[in-house]
Chain A
Amino acid sequence: MLTSHVKGVTKGYPLLIKATEVKVNEVEFNPQFVSRMIPKLEWSALLQAAEGLGHRQDLPAELVSEYEKDEEFLKKVHRALLEVEVIEGCLQCPESGREFPISRGIPNMLLSEEEA
């Protein structure tokens, strides 16, 4: 799942995703869950992330109004959000360029002494 809400501690957001290994899982589609998640996302961030991974598919550039009822749309979001998983790669802060490695699906966002 792309954690588009994650923010770099230097107020950088959104984090760029660079993936070296991506896995696409098959996940049961739960429309209620997806439609609840959408308001929490920054749409452009999601787009950017999906694109960066080469999995943008056909997510529209703008958030569709009344997306709760648009099952097709929800399915696309579902795919990008829940089914695409970054296994190896990194997240990069757009502001500082600091890269946070992702290993086995878990990003490491620990900062060193100086950074914090």
Chain B
Amino acid sequence: MSEPGREAGCVRFFCTAGSGMEPFLTEELRRKLEAEDVTQLSGKVLFSSSVRIHSVVELKAAERLFLLLKHESPLQLSSLSSSAKAAAELKSRLLGDRKQWSSAALTWSRLQGELSQGRGAAANTSSTPRGRRKEEGRGSEEQMEEEKYCDGKSGKSGKREGEQREEERESRGLRGGEEQEEAQTLEKKRKREMSCGVEELILEKRIKRKNHEEADEKERQDEDDEEERRMISSRGSVQSGSRKEKDRAEDGSVENMEHDSVKPAGEEDQKPAPLSRIRPDITSSVTFRISCKCTGSVSRLFSSQEVSRVMGVGLSRMMNWKVDLKNPQLEVNVYLSDDLCLLGIPLSRLPLAHRSYMKTTGLRSTVAWAMTSLAQIQPGSCVVDPMCGVGTILIEAAQEHRAAWFLGVDIDDRQLQKANENIEFAELRTRIQLLKASSMALPLPSGSVDALICDLPFGRKFGTKTNMAANLPVIVAEMERVLRVGGALVLLLSPQLSFLLKKLLSPKDPTPPPGSEVCPCPPLSSTEQQTVSTQPGVKPSPPQERDTQTGPQPPPPPSSLKHHTTLRVSLGAIDGLIHKYVKVDV
């Protein structure tokens, strides 16, 4: 009996985003997910939303999506005297209490369940009644695997003792966690059926531990677990235990639970537990791994590995979870810097930037999407990419704007071929047309295009025979010609080409102060967005996405393109600048 269509209450997430993409992501969050409490940091955006997870994973401007575990003020460890104290402080700050972790694991599990359910991959092999997806999702993760995070085995013995203690704590903690709102439905379910949840796992773990205390080897742990479970389950007969299994103290009840979870467990163990695996499960016997990124003063005290280890030990003791470095069910990402302390659980293996509908990518999909969001595309718009390459921008735009029409132009046969494949793959054949032509001589009537979006070859990743710099004036002139009045022109250029563009299109001052027209400035602050002005002499304005410039002052060489915005985005190894112009009546 699942709660039909139950969505989270508000769940708090965060996304990583490429440098320069944060404002796009913020805007997308607000518009698509009605996100609340949006906090924009450098490279990350935190938000709360209660929409279905499927919408959240459709975000286009984000890189990766995480379930927020903890967002704290930055750690101040330098004042502590010894590294032991610092470690203790680190642990207490980062670990917090069990409830938090339990409920997070529950939420995560539920979301995974929802996701996989949506994907139709609900391979619910467990015997528990369906509807326990949430638990199942979690369960899949719960491979009992030996701690592996410790490089040495030294931690093991300590862990074992700790675990035994933990077991008690865990069951208590589990109940505590279950009190969390999010855990409630799951809890109920578990009560009704055997939720194989934590209890089972706890029991399993406990049993396993006892049985294998001496012989445990890291690598073999999961097999041991599996065997153990099978052993136990074969004795047990009850499939769906009732909640009473909570008293893990009894081996008998363990059997019940084990039995239920054994089947899925068996399968699970055969292959790496996919995140979407559903299994009746609990939070307690999760296998996890900590990934840590430390910068700033914290990194002087601890390396990332050390932090991971400290946290790993602490967490596994507290929650009785197991560490698995190779194939954990749950991954915990920790970001420590001078500005923030952020913990999260990734919700997808692949970054969101990896699009299911793209076969061959050129430009990074997030940046392509960001460009299309600037282009003011309306239903019925005709949108052209005069140097479309493999069509990344057009496809992102077509996915977003379902009633517009797109034309991609390229000079290169191979690029067009790949673009064709991409379009077929994304099934957008009817809305995206391709044309082989030169961007310097576009076979389009003047003023016929509503929006023009282009990623001009920088000359690095995509070689081009033409000398971009020399041809830029002609290319821009053609773009300007085909664009209709009121239409938007969105270009992605390298910093060098941007400089040229500005010279071309900005009001011609007789003596532009050298280098002041274009200032690829370093980020104003980690949380502010890049805005570069085209007016010579004007300093970068305070953070604002729209920095509309007034029109040219002296009668300019008639460029009807009015500059609207310039934004800096990271393209990986290099930076690019996105420019938006609007054609005005001259």
Contact = CB atoms under 8 A, between A and B. Distances in A.
Interface in B53-98: none
Interface stretch (B9-17, B116-124, B170-178, B427-435): B427-435
Given A3-B407, A13-B445, A32-B379, A107 B430 contact: no
Interface in B2-60: none
Contacts of B411: 110
A82 B406 CA distance: 13
B403 A7 contact: no
Interface stretch (A33-41, A47-55, A57-65): A33-41
B120 to A, nearest CB: 22
A39 B450 CA distance: 13
Given A7-B443, A33-B380, A107 B436 contact: yes
B444 A7 contact: yes
Interface string B382-407: 10000000000000000000110101
B403 A32 contact: yes
A106 B379 contact: no
Contact of B437 (A39, A85, A110): A110
B249 interface: no
B443 A106 contact: no
B403 A36 contact: yes
Nearest to B445: A7
Contact of A109 (B382, B405, B443, B448): B443
A94 interface: no
Interface of B is mostly: loop
Contacts of B438: 110-111, 116
Given A32-B379, A36-B379, A106 B416 contact: yes
Contacts of A39: 380
A33 B416 CA distance: 25
B405 A37 contact: yes
Nearest to A38: B380
B389 to A, nearest CB: 14
B380 A37 contact: yes
Given A25-B429, A30-B402, A36-B379, A9 B434 contact: no
A82 B430 contact: yes
A6 B436 CA distance: 12
A40 B403 contact: no
A108 B430 contact: no
Contacts of A7: 443-445
A89 interface: no
A103 to B, nearest CB: 8
A111 B444 CA distance: 14
Interface residues of B, number: 25
Contacts of A105: 420, 434
Interface string B368-390: 00000000000110100000000
B468 interface: no
Interface in B408-448: 411, 416, 420, 429-431, 433-438, 440-441, 443-445, 448
A33 B403 contact: yes
A8 B443 contact: yes
A77 to B, nearest CB: 13
Contacts of B405: 33, 37
A106 B444 contact: no
A3 B403 CA distance: 16
A64 B203 CA distance: 75
Nearest to B450: A40
Contacts of B403: 30, 32-33, 36
Contact of B441 (A5, A85, A108, A111): A111
B379 A108 contact: no
Interface in A1-33: 1, 3, 5-9, 13, 25, 27, 30, 32-33
A86 to B, nearest CB: 11
B436 A106 contact: yes
A86 B437 CA distance: 17
Contact of A1 (B430, B437, B441): B430
Of the candidates B379, B382, B430, B448, the one having the most CB atoms from chain A within 10 angstroms of its own CB is B430
Contacts of B434: 105-106
B445 A1 contact: no
Nearest to B378: A36
B473 to A, nearest CB: 15
A36 B383 CA distance: 13
A63 B523 CA distance: 55
Nearest to B407: A3
Given A33-B403, A36-B379, 10 more contacts: A7-B444, A8-B443, A37-B380, A37-B405, A105-B420, A105-B434, A106-B435, A110-B436, A111-B441, A116-B441
Interface of B: 379-380, 382, 402-403, 405, 407, 411, 416, 420, 429-431, 433-438, 440-441, 443-445, 448
21 contacts: A3-B435, A5-B448, A25-B429, A27-B430, A33-B380, A33-B402, A33-B431, A35-B380, A36-B379, A37-B405, A39-B380, A40-B382, A40-B448, A104-B420, A106-B416, A109-B435, A109-B437, A109-B443, A110-B437, A110-B438, A116-B440
Q: Which 7 A-B pairs have the closest CB atoms?
A: A36-B380, A109-B437, A108-B436, A33-B403, A109-B443, A82-B430, A106-B434
